[in-house]
Each structure stands twice: as structure tokens, then as C-alpha cells.
Chain A
């Protein structure tokens, strides 16, 4: 009888423990942010890795998201002659939701997994222990720069994704489906607010924090050799993606009442 409760409770306890460890990691990373030595170049290197090198994949997903949205909403709006609303609808959808979320998911797949794999490999090959012996804090040297890079770079990527998504939607809507370009743009300007864009960017910064933190955490606590690294990588992507989608709901409910 007790066993049943235990088996029910164990995963929960494990979850709470894991959550706590992640939080502790975040706190110590935050603390290390303000302590010398400041290694600006390391942060920059990570920003390049997370931001600049993700640009292609973000451009492609962004463009096609916008294009397919235009296509889908067009068929809906045509039923009651509201084709002019395609532009504003897809712009709202992209700036509020799809831009931040898709960008974060793509970056999770690209950079989050790489973080987990990289730190995980360092962990199982005891390079992290070597860092300790050289009195270099691995949290400061490895984790903090990645988190900072994630927080800073995701909004930039999201802006690019938003823009290219709207351009893609414009292309499909105006050039292929013959929606009037003036109405298309006028409705966007009329309906979309500055807040829509900025709230999307705040979201994306949160997603950047989540994906970097989860990736680093999974790598940092890797055990079990090469197999463990693989497992950590997979888990980091799954956990980060799920966490991003869940947090997206709550962030949305707070921001867009």
C-alpha cells in the first residue's frame, strides 16, 4: 500500500528536486555574472554561436510560417470577404506567438542541444573537474555566458523572424493571392500595436533563458559516459521545448489580458 504512494510520490519529488537544482544553477549563474573576472569574449563567442549561426534556420522557418499563415487565413477570411484582414491576423499571430515560439524551438534544437552535448562531454571527460582544480568556476566560465547569450540573442532572432515572416506573408498574400497591398499594410498598421511586438520580444528573452538554462543544466549534470551525453542532449531538447510551450501560455495570459 505504501509502495503505491511511494511510486506516485517519487517522480514528483524527483521533479521538485530537479526543478530546485535548475533554480540553484540559475541563481549561482546570476551571482557569477557580477563577479570578476569578467570574460567578455566568452560571452561574445556564445552570442555568435546562439545568435549569428542560427540565422539561416530562423529565416527559413520565419518566412515559411508567414507564408503558410497567409495561405490558411486567406481561405478562412475569403468566406466573408475579409481578405484585407489576412495581413493583420498573420502579423498579430507572428509577433505575439509564432515568431517567439518557433524561433525558440529552432534555437533549442540547434543551440540548446549543442550546449547540453558540449558541457555534457566536458563533464564525462572530467574537463569540468579540471576547471575546478584551476580554480576557474565552471558556472562562470561555461554556463553564465550561455544563459546571457540566450537571453540577449533570442529577441534579436525573433525580430528577424517576425520581419521575415511578415514579408513572407506579404509575398503570398499580395503577390500570389492578389490581396490589395494598400489594404494589407493599412490593416497591419491599424490593428497591430507596438505592444504586440515588444511583448513577443519579452517572451523570447524568457525562452532564451529557459533553453540555455535547461541545456546547460542537462549537460552539467550528465553522468554515464557517451550514452549519458546522448541522453542529456535528447532530454534537454524535449524539456526545453515543453518548458517553452508551457511558459508561453502563462506569459501570454499575463501579458495579453
Chain B
């Protein structure tokens, strides 16, 4: 710090201050930037009491704007709302004033209309929604109720209270009294008439008796008819009785159906059979029973599921890697390149296909044996083609940290051994190939170190027991990456059966 110039210190200090200020401003000034733009719409409220400028306008609790202006027009409150430009409102949107929190903060709630309505344009007017029962309206309604009750009691009081009311009440009582008395008097005065009425009734009943006496035969006929009818009714009821008795006894098809023991037995039997079947299933007898009860089924199912699981896992562990490495050979001062495709169906094994561009070229040894005039001459011809590529095809198997490889190494047969350290970050390898009786085998030792994923550096000693002076120290580097695309078509293989 002490090395820093004054300018740097002050500059650093000021920058920190500005950054902190910027951060705090962004935090608390979240809405102040938005205030500038947006569309204005207006709404008439019966009362804008408690509403103030800049209070939020919300839809479903989300702030979409602010109240911009409150003014008075035609005795109503004209409230102008500024809605954020990214909010699309329909024409039938409604506005309502709401209250929030214990302190009763007012805000404006917009109630969106149907989606079919056209979009609203800036400057248009919307309507006030039917007021909801918030605390305020409840109070208003209660107030009105109280007013009505008050009016009622007031008029009652007007009627009854005071001397006038008392007087009229008294006169009502007096009137009632008078009426009862008059009634009494009427009854007493008309006592005679009542007696006459009763006498009339008496004579009327006497005359009725006379009529009865005169038509007594007719009446007797009627009674006889009635009796006959009732007798017929009796026989009808007896018939019905008979039918039900028959059903009870089990006669007729209905009777059989209802009364026959056989029916019930067969029903019982079929139920028993059903019981039997379920018992069997329960006990594990029969195909279904086996299917349901046999442990083996479950095992098989489990096994099948395990197989599917295994397959999926295999799919998962299946990897293909592309790899390029270059090795700089200090001896020949040239670079040897390897391009490889590593197919790794499982963690512990892989197949390696490699194309190698060796600056030393590919050697082909040709022994031609010729027999001319009984003399056999053998021509030993070594051809070096520097443009020819070499190939490797190897299989590798891994046991914990030890890997074994075998196959074609640089177009000749060979074996290799790998040892992995530090979670595979460091690999030591020894390869032996090109076993030729005429010369020493090609031995190669290398150490690959992978400091980050996909990239590794390499160093080693190539052909270090060569008797042809080819031993060379090398350093190299490479990139290696997993290829998901190749995996998908390579792994579409039949399920391996265990």
C-alpha cells in the first residue's frame, strides 16, 4: 500500500465510495427510475380520501404504476394513474381503492377485464369498480344503518313522545274501550234475534227429518249398494292375499325365484367358488396365483427392473473421448502427433483407436529370398515411408489404479501398463511394442499430467533401450474431451445380458 501513489489512493478511495453509493441507490431507488415513462389513464373515484401522489397502483398485488395526480372534477375525485409501459391493459379494466396494513395505507388496485376487450390507450378513462367491503366501506354501511335506525327511532319519538303523542295514545285506548262496550251492547240488544235464529234452525232440522222419512226406501237401496260394493272389495283383497301366499309358498316362477332353496344354494355356491378362487390366488395356486404370490415373479420383476436400470446406467457410464496429443522429440527435433478415439463402455475398460503421424515414418521390412542357381540369397530391405501413418488399436482394462493395455501399438503388436495417481490427474505409462528379433523392442515411458479438465501435458522417454540410437526425451501436450454425440449412436446397442 505504501508504494501506491497519492493519486492511486485517492482514486481507489473515490471509486469505492461511488460503487457503494451506486449499490445503495440501485437498492433503494428501485422505482425512481421508472417514474418517468408510462401511459396515463384516469379514473373517477367517489372519494379519494387517504390517497396521495405516488402511492402504488397494483394488479394482483404486483406494482404496475403509481398515482400521478389527484384532482377534483364535477364533485368527484379524478385520479390519474401512470402505468408502466410494459403493462398492457384492456378497456374494461376497473380501478378500486384498497387499504393495506394496520396503518391503513391506501393504494389503487386495478381489476383486469376480459382478454377479448381491446387494449386501452394512453389518456383514456376507466371506471371505478364496485367498492368491496373493506374496513372503510363496512364503516360506511354501518354508519348508514345507524342513521336509518336513528331516523326510525326519531319518528317514533316524534309520534309518541311529548304531550301530543301521549294524548293520541290515550285516545286510541279510549276508542278501543268504546268499541268493546258497543259490541257488548249490540249483543245484548239483539238477544231476541238470536233466539229466533235458533228456533229457525230447529224447524229446519225437523223438516229434514220429514224428508228422510218420506225417502227411506231410496236410502235403504243406497245402503244395500254400498254393502255389495264392500263385499266385492273383500274378495279382491282375498285374491291379493292368495297371490302373496302363493309367492311365499314358492309356487309360480316368482314364488320359485323368491322361495326356492335351490336359488339361494346356487348363489351360495357361486359365492363359495369365488371365495375358493381368491383363496387359491392368495395361496399362490394356479397361474394368476403364481403370478401374484410367487416370490419368483417379484424377483423376476426386480431382476428385469435391475436389468433396465443396469442398461440405463451403462448408457450413463458409456463415454467416448476424442484425444489429440503432440510430442516433441528432442532427439530428432520433430513432433509426433496422435489422434485417438477412446470408446469407454464402462469405467474399467476402454477401446483405443489411434492414428499416429510419426516423423520417423513407418518402416517396412522386406526379406526377399531368392534362389538363383542353387544359391540362396536373402535380401533384407528396410523401407521407410515418412508420409505413412501408423495405427494403434488397443483394448484396455483397469483394476483400481492399475491399467493394462494390449493390441496394436504404432502398427506393431505390443503391451502397455498404466498407473493412475491423484484421481487420474497423473498417469504413468510404460509401453513395449515392435518386438523384433533383430533389434531391441521399442519401450516408451511417459507421464501425463492433467492440471485442468480436457488439457494435459506429457513428458517421457521414448525408445529408451534402442540400439539404433533412437532414444529420445520428449515433452508434449494434448487435449481430450468427451463426445456426447458419438456416444448416443454407439450406445444404441442391445442390452447386455448378465
B10 near A160: Cβ-Cβ < 8 Å: no
Q: Are B30 and A189 in contact (CB under 8 A)?
A: yes
Check A83 for interface membership: any CB of B closer than 8 A.
no
Given contacts A189-B27, A192-B28, A193-B29, contact A52 B10 (CB under 8 A): yes
Contacting residue for B10 out of A51, A95, A159, A201, CB 8 A: A51
Complex: A189 Cα to B21 Cα, angstroms: 14
Is the CB of B122 closer than 8 A to any CB of chain A?
no
Interface string of B1-33 (1 = CB under 8 A from A): 000001101101110111011011101111010
Within 8 A of A (CB), among B21-69: 21, 23-25, 27-30, 32
B184 CB → nearest A CB, Å? 75
Neighbour of B27 across the interface among A51, A188, A201, CB < 8 A: A188
A193 touches B28 (CB 8 A): yes
Provide 13 A-B residue pairs closer than 8 Å at the C-beta atoms, listed in order of the A residue: A44-B7, A52-B9, A52-B10, A52-B12, A52-B13, A95-B24, A156-B13, A159-B18, A159-B21, A160-B16, A163-B24, A193-B29, A193-B32
A194, B22: Cα distance in complex, Å: 10
Contact with A along B326-362 (1 / 0, CB 8 A): 0000000000000000000000000000000000000
Chain A contacts of B30 at CB under 8 A? Answer: 189
Q: How far is it, in angstroms, between the C-alpha of A78 and the C-alpha of B29 when the chains are bound?
A: 28
- The answer to whether B28 touches A189 (Cβ under 8 A) is yes
Q: Which chain A positions have C-beta within 8 A of B20?
A: 159-160, 162-163
Besides the contacts A153-B13, A162-B20, A163-B20, what 8 more A-B pairs have beta carbons closer than 8 Å? A44-B7, A51-B10, A52-B13, A156-B17, A166-B24, A194-B25, A194-B32, A197-B28
Residues of B within 8 A of A (CB): 6-7, 9-10, 12-14, 16-18, 20-21, 23-25, 27-30, 32
Which residues A52-68 have CB closer than 8 A to chain B?
A: 52, 55
For A18, the chain B residues whose CB sits under 8 A away are none
Nearest A residue to B21, CB-CB: A159
Q: Which residues of B contact A44 (CB under 8 A)?
A: 6-7, 10
A196 to chain B: closest residue by CB: B28
CA distance A72 to B53 in the complex (A): 33
Q: In the complex, A194→B33 CA distance in Å?
A: 10
Is A155's CB under 8 angstroms from B17's CB? yes
Which of A52, A55, A193: most chain B Cβ within 10 A? A52
A188-B28 CB under 8 A given contacts A155-B17, A160-B16: yes
Smallest CB gap from A82: residue in B? B102
A26 to chain B, nearest CB (A): 23
Query: Which residue on chain B has the smallest CB distance to residue A185?
Result: B27
Q: With A41-B6, A44-B6, A48-B10 in contact, do A157 and B29 touch (Cβ < 8 Å)?
A: no
A interface SS class: helix
- How far, in angstroms, from A159 to B18 measured CA to CA in the complex? 8
Tell me the number of A-to-B contacts counted with CB atoms below 8 Å. 60
For chain A, which range describes its interface: under 10, 10 to 19, 20 to 34, or 35 or more residues? 20 to 34
Contact A160 B17, CB 8 Å, known A52-B9, A193-B29? yes
Known contacts A52-B13, A155-B17, A160-B17; A197/B6 CB under 8 A? no
Q: Is B28 touching A47 in the complex (CB atoms < 8 A)? A: no
Name the residue among B6, B10, B18 with the largest chain A CB count within 10 angstroms.
B10
Contact check, B28 vs A194: say whether CB atoms are below 8 A apart: yes
- A188: chain B residues at CB < 8 Å are 27-28
Q: Which residues of B contact A162 (CB under 8 A)?
A: 20, 24
Q: Taking the complex as formed, is A45 at the interface, i.e. its CB lies under 8 A from any CB of chain B?
A: yes
Query: CB-CB < 8 A to A197: which residues of B?
Result: 21, 24-25, 28
CB-CB < 8 A to A91: which residues of B?
28
Q: Which of A51, A55, A194 has the most CB of B within 10 A?
A: A194
Q: A163 CA to B28 CA in the complex, in Å?
A: 12
Q: Which 9 A-B pairs have the closest CB atoms?
A: A156-B17, A194-B29, A163-B20, A192-B28, A159-B21, A159-B17, A47-B10, A52-B13, A52-B9
Name the distance in Å between A157's Cβ and chain B's nearest Cβ.
Answer: 7
Q: Chain A residues near B18 (CB, 8 Å)?
A: 156, 159
CA distance A196 to B21 in the complex (A): 12
* Chain B residue with Cβ nearest A152: B14
- The answer for the CA separation of A91 and B29 in the assembled complex, in Å, is 14
User: Once the chains are docked, how many angstroms separate the CA of A188 from the CA of B24?
Assistant: 10
What B residues does A51 contact at CB under 8 A? Answer: 10, 13-14
CA distance A194 to B13 in the complex (A): 22
Across the interface, which residues of A come within 8 angstroms of B24, CB to CB?
95, 159, 162-163, 166, 197
Task: List which A170-214 residues lie within 8 A (CB) of chain B.
Answer: 188-189, 192-194, 196-197, 201
| CA gap between A197 and B23 in the complex, in Å | 12
Nearest-neighbour CB distance to chain B for A250, whole angstroms, equals 24
Cβ of B129 to closest chain A Cβ, rounded Å: 26
CB atoms of A48 and B9 under 8 A apart: yes
* Chain B residue nearest in CB terms to A155: B17
Chain B residues, CB < 8 A from A95: 24
Name which residue of chain A comes closest to B30, CB basis: A189
Cα–Cα, bound, A196→B29 (Å) = 10
Query: Residue on B with the closest CB to A55?
Result: B13
Residues of B within 8 A of A55 (CB): 13
Cβ–Cβ < 8 Å partners of A45 in chain B: 6
A250 to B30 CA separation, bound complex (whole angstroms):
29
User: In angstroms, how far is the closest chain B Cβ from the Cβ of A139?
Assistant: 22
Residues of A within 8 A of B10 (CB): 44, 47-48, 51-52
The CA of A157 and the CA of B21, in the complex, are separated in Å by: 11
Per the bound structure, the CA–CA distance linking A148 and B25 in Å amounts to: 25
Chain B nearest Cβ from A92, distance in angstroms: 10
Residue in A closest to B23 when the chains form the complex, CB atoms: A163
Q: How far is the CA of A91 from the CA of B25 in the complex (A)?
A: 13
Residue of A nearest to B13 (CB): A52
Distance, CA A189 to CA B135, complexed state (A): 28
**Residues of chain B with a CB closer than 8 A to A201's CB:** 21
CB-CB under 8 A from A156, the residues of chain B are 13-14, 16-18
Residues of B within 8 A of A48 (CB): 6, 9-10
Closest to A80 in B: B102
How far is it, in angstroms, between the C-alpha of A41 and the C-alpha of B6 when the chains are bound?
Answer: 8
B32: chain A residues at CB < 8 Å are: 193-194
Report the nearest B residue to A194, measured CB to CB. Answer: B29
Q: Find the A residue at minimum CB distance from B29.
A: A194
- CA of A48 to CA of B14 in the docked complex: distance in angstroms? 10
Complex Cα distance A142/B17, Å? 26
Alpha-carbon separation in the docked complex, A165 to B14 (Å): 18
Smallest distance from the beta carbon of B104 to chain A beta carbons, Å?
15
B residues in contact with A155, CB < 8 Å = 17
A84-108 residues with Cβ-Cβ distance < 8 A to B are: 91, 95
